[in-house]
Amino acid sequence: MNRTLRPRHSTEGGYPRGEETRARIITAAIRLFGELGFDGASTRDIAASAGVNAPALQYYFDNKEGVYVACLLHIVEQVWARLEAPVEAAERVLADPACEDGALVDAYCAIQDCIVEFMFKSRVADEWRWFMAREQAGLGPEIGHAIFNNEINRRMVAVKASLVGRLLGQSPDDEDTLIRTMGLGGPAHVFHVMRRAAFKTLGWEQVDDERLEKIRRVVRLQTIQLLEAMIGERRARGADGAADFKSPV
C-alpha cells in the first residue's frame, strides 16, 4: 500500500475517538459519493451524515479530495485482503515455465471465484457498489484511477493477462491478450454493477447461498470453456504456451 497517500493528520489527539470518527466519515462519504457523485456530495453533507462538524472532517482529510482518497484506500485494503491469496497462488503457478494448462486455468478461476464471492457475500462490497461504479466509469477525480491502478489493477491485470497469455501462447502485453483478459471479467461483474437489470431478468430479489453457487458455477463453466478455446487456438498454431511469458511482478 502506498503510505504517502495517507491523510497527514494522526487519529490520535485533536478529537476524541479519532479512529472511530474517521471511520464514520469514510462510511458516510462512500455512500454519498456513490449516490450523488464527487461533484454532488459536499463536505458539509458528508460531515452531517457522519454526525461530525466540518472542522473535524477538515482535520482528518483536509478537503473533499482527501476524503475521496481515504475512501479509495479503505476499499483497496479490504479488496486486497481477500484477493491477495489467490493472486499470489497464481504468481507461483506462473513462476513455473513448465506448468500444465490445467494449473493455469485453475489459477485464473480461483481469482474469479474469490471476486464473485466477495461481491455477493461481503456486506461492505454491496455498500461500495455505486461508489465503485462511478469510479470505474471515470466519474471521480483523476487521482482515484491512479490509486486503484497502482494498488490493485496493475498487479491484478498483470497476473490475469499472464495466465491468458500463457494459454494463448502469446505475450501478456499483446493487445489481443489484454482485450480477452478484460472480456473474461465481464460475466462476473455484470451481476454486481447491473444488479437491478440482472435480478429482474432472473426474477430474483436477492442472492442467497444457492443462487450464489449457481452464479459461480455458471460463470466458472463459461470461463473454463473460453480458456480451453484459447488453448485450442494455441495448439492449432503449434505455439509454445511459455514462449512469450513475462513475469507479472
- How confident is the model over 82-118, as pLDDT tens digits? 999 999 999 999 999 999 999 999 999 999 999 888 8
What is the value of pTM for the model shown? 0.81
CA count, 13 A, side-chain hemisphere, 110: 19
**Residue 221, phi then psi, degrees to nearest 5:** -60, -45
Architecture of domain 3-61: Orthogonal Bundle (1.10)
Average pLDDT over residues 128-143: 85
CA distances from 21 to 46, 150, 178, 190 (A): 12, 27, 42, 34
- pLDDT above 50: residue 244: no
Residue 237: CB atoms within 10 Å? 11
State whether CATH 3.40.50.300 applies to domain 72-237: no
Is-same-fold flag (3-61; 72-237)?
Answer: no
Measured over the CA atoms of residue 122, residue 124, residue 126 and residue 131, the dihedral's sign is: negative
**Sequence ranges of the domains in the chain:** 3-61, 72-237
Give the model's pLDDT for residue 145.
84
Give the model's pLDDT for residue 150.
87
CB within 8 Å of 222: residues ≥ 6 apart: 187
Q: How far apart are CA 142 and CA 139, in angstroms?
A: 9
- pLDDT above 70: residue 11: no
Q: Report pLDDT digits (tens) over 185-208.
A: 888 777 777 888 888 999 998 888
Eight-class DSSP state of 3:
G
Give the model's pLDDT for residue 17.
62
